[in-house]
Amino acid sequence: MGERPSENQGVDAVLARLDGLGAQHLWVQYADYNGRSQGKSVPRARFAEALAGGISFARANLGFNLTDAQAPDTGFGADSGDFLAVPDPAALAPLPYAPGAARAIAWMRRDDGAPWEGCPRSALLRQVEAYAERGLSLRVAFEPEAYLFEAGPDGPRPIAADGMFTVAALERTAAFLQAVGGALETMGVEVEQVAPEYGPGQIEINIRHAEPVKAADDLITLKDAARAVARAHGLVASFMPKPFETIAGCGLHVHLSLWSADGGSAMAGDEDGAGDEAPHPSGFGPTGRGFLGGILAHARGLCGLGAPTVNSYKRLRPGSWAPAHAAYAVANRSALVRIPGASRRRVEFRAGDNTSNPYIFLTGLLAAGLDGIERGLEPGSPAEGDLGHLSPAELAAQGIILLPRTAGEALDAVAADGTLLAALGPTVGGEWLKVKRSELAIAETVVSPWERETYLRG
């Protein structure tokens, strides 16, 4: 892997780097199937052992959902043993908010050191390698949105409303955003820009593009850092997709581009205009069109991987700035896939949110794109109009279908998509589905205050 030169670094070199950082504690961490960072801290005296052989975690940890309840049908029972979390030297960083500590994101390995089939990060690497075999590399950039809350008498409430996108909102959050930016820089994550978003106290942090595994690592790093820095500022940073019915949701837009070995865009059309045909309205050449066509062909399953919780579908509503339709469009923010920018070199997938595991979500996106390239799928014409405000007849005239409307539909769409499941492998794909379905089953039993207000009549 061209961009992961340090992966083969010897233990001594990594130890020297950790000593250079003044690390007395090494947090060895991974993202669980829900996308949560999990880890253990190793003291200095055990660094060499941890770096060489990894540290063990119960496989059972991966059978739990976000309520910390175990999926009843999990394959990771009490008898399922351990995996080894082996630090990736390419994902080592100091922890500015935990002085004296560094962290390493880990590969999940078997006892013999081979990749474990339950490791989502390894599933993503397999996709990257499949592209490399075709002479293609990828750049990925995540754009997470979040709310900043402060303590209120009835629980957390968004910090004061300054008006959407205002400099006043930027000023109010400047100390927090600058502290997060500083922490990320120290941790090797490049930030493109930070912005106040639409909702009161809502922010967006745009991470600079990177190769896919680093891009997913960087998102995990950003979320860990933002939460830690918020706590130090007496705030709560939450990436929940839709914290309130009536204010903007928090998305996780993903920008993806393809590059050839010569460094040129593999997405763009033939710019010197060979042939007499008019350029495709996407502006993409055959590879870019196949990639886009693949993402559209697998749109409903990808929506499930990127937006897998009951709260996700409170966000993905027509006319909400979050997409509800499986279509692509040029510049248009109402579509699932947007082709931004005049240069037409990338796609932005807009359905995902921060309840996803970014390795699993990206594995699905890359597998869908590759399927489209291999089958020469065509994306058709871009959608026209503000899709959230078109009538069913107008949508039908453009051949546009809806994304899943509920988490149940979304998880069924993942279960029905053989390409996505094959890319994840039976262990990650199958067990992820069980975990997310078990969480949904709990959510479906909850009686909301609205239900009591509406149906509890004497």
Q: Contact positions toward ligand GLU, by CB under 6 A?
A: 145, 248-251, 315, 321-322, 333, 350
CB-based closest residue to Mg ion:
204
Residue 333 binding target from Mg ion, ligand GLU, none, CB below 5 to 8 Å by type: ligand GLU
Residue 143 CB, nearest distance to Mg ion (Å)?
A: 6
Q: In Å, what is the CA distance from 384 to each residue of 77, 286, 333?
A: 49, 22, 11
For residues 32 and 145, which CB has a smaller minimum distance to Mg ion in the complex?
Answer: 145
Residue 34 CB, nearest distance to Mg ion (Å)?
A: 23
Per CB under 5 A, contacts with Mg ion among 99-118 are none
For residues 82 and 198, which CB has a smaller minimum distance to ligand GLU in the complex?
Answer: 198
Six token digits for residue 414: 């993942």
Residue 370 binding target from Mg ion, ligand GLU, none, CB below 5 to 8 Å by type: none
Per CB under 5 A, contacts with Mg ion among 181-220 are 204
Q: In Å, what is the CA distance from 453 to each residue of 115, 247, 447, 449, 458?
A: 52, 21, 11, 6, 11
CB distance 95 to 189 below 8 Å: no
How many Å is the maximal CA-CA distance in the chain? 75
Residue 209 binding target from Mg ion, ligand GLU, none, CB below 5 to 8 Å by type: none
Residue 382 CB, nearest distance to ligand GLU (Å)?
A: 17
Residue 365 binding target from ligand GLU, Mg ion, none, CB below 5 to 8 Å by type: none
Strands (E), 208-341: 236-238, 252-260, 325-326, 328-330, 337-339
Residue 432 exposed, middle or buried by CB count within 10 Å (0-12, 13-18, 19+):
buried
Angle between helix axes 212-232 and 120-133 (nearest 10 degrees) is 140
Residue 97 CB, nearest distance to ligand GLU (Å)?
A: 27
Residue 363's closest CA among 26, 57, 14, 35?
A: 35
Residue 372 binding target from ligand GLU, Mg ion, none, CB below 5 to 8 Å by type: none
* 321 part of the interface to Mg ion, by CB under 5 A: no
For residues 204 and 409, which CB has a smaller minimum distance to Mg ion in the complex?
Answer: 204
* 247 part of the interface to Mg ion, by CB under 5 A: no
Residue 66 CB, nearest distance to ligand GLU (Å)?
A: 19
CA 353 – CA 251 distance, rounded (Å): 5
CB distance 360 to 428 below 8 Å: yes
Residue 192 CB, nearest distance to Mg ion (Å)?
A: 13
- At a CB cut-off of 8 Å and minimum separation 6, what does 417 contact? 298, 300, 301
Task: Report the interface residues with Mg ion, using CB under 5 A.
Answer: 204
